Amino acid sequence: MRSVGTLYGIGVGPGDPDLITVKAAKILAAVRIVAHFRKRGAAGHAWSIARPHIPAEARELALEYPLTTEIPFTEDGYIGALSRFYSEASGNIRHLLEAGQDVALLSEGDPFFFGSFLHMYERLRGAVPIVVVPGVTGMSGCWTAAAAPIALGDDVLTVLPGTLGEDALAAKLQATDAAVIMKVGHNLPKIREALAAAGRLDEAILVERGTMEGERVVRLSEAGGATAYFSIVLLPGCKGRRIL
């Protein structure tokens, strides 16, 4: 009788390969199949981060998103295509596991904090053994790169998607001590308006490619109108009154 393999959900951290955990590095050194998501034609971001920890003899299983251009998340066609893609990809991985092989599936940042791994996890949990290895989040990498402690003492921290409407964003930004805004990209002009409406534009920091090559940290009020996909806006808490 052949035993079922284990799926390892590996958080690879924010970008610097050395910001992967010791546990993740040990698993990658031992597992013979390493799966990761990538856009068609691209190297794969999680793969690039984990690369130095993956033995040359490991098999790469690239899971390629069906679409290369960004179309609205709410489009039915887009959601349907992605859903089929995740089902097919999880089926492929399940097949390998049931053949007795262990599989590591890479995840940028932390596997349980946003990201594609969750669509696979929800399809496979209960059916196969899964071990999740938490990672340093992209936002931790960004506030470290910006030398901007994010929260202290009794701070409230709110993590917001840049996809929210301007009014909703402004209301949330007004009601929190600290904030992290993800999914910035083409939402940057709207995010800037929301910060201004909340009276907090001067506090905001834009971090592009935190802990990665090409890292850029700039006051949002001095940034241009465009930014990269791997961008995060930070509104640090840690006001003076909380420093003892």
Residues near its own copies, by CB under 8 A: 11, 13-14, 16-23, 25-26, 53, 73, 79, 82-83, 86, 110-115, 118-119, 121-122, 125, 132-137, 140-141, 143-144, 147-161, 163-164, 172, 175-176, 183, 211, 238, 243-244
142 touches 111 (CB < 8 A): no
Nearer CB in complex with its own copies: 76/224? 76
Distance CA 244, CA 242 (A): 6
* Torsion angle defined by CA atoms of residues 165, 167, 168 and 172, in that order, rounded to the nearest 10 degrees: 130
Distance (Å) of CA 99 to CA 13, 89, 95: 29, 16, 6
From the CB of 113, what's the least distance to its own copies, in Å? 6
Nearer CB in complex with its own copies: 44/111? 111
Nearer CB in complex with its own copies: 176/227? 176
Structure tokens that stand for 111 in this block: 């596997």
From the CB of 1, what's the least distance to its own copies, in Å? 27
From the CB of 51, what's the least distance to its own copies, in Å? 13
From the CB of 85, what's the least distance to its own copies, in Å? 9
- Which helix H or strand E contains 133, and what residues bound it? strand 130-133
From the CB of 2, what's the least distance to its own copies, in Å? 25
Nearer CB in complex with its own copies: 87/99? 87
Number of neighbouring beta carbons within 10 Å of residue 71:
10
Of 93, 80, 77, 75, the closest CA to residue 37 belongs to 93
Nearer CB in complex with its own copies: 43/175? 175
From the CB of 95, what's the least distance to its own copies, in Å? 21
Cβ neighbourhood burial of 65 (10 Å; 0-12, 13-18, 19+): middle
Nearer CB in complex with its own copies: 32/119? 119
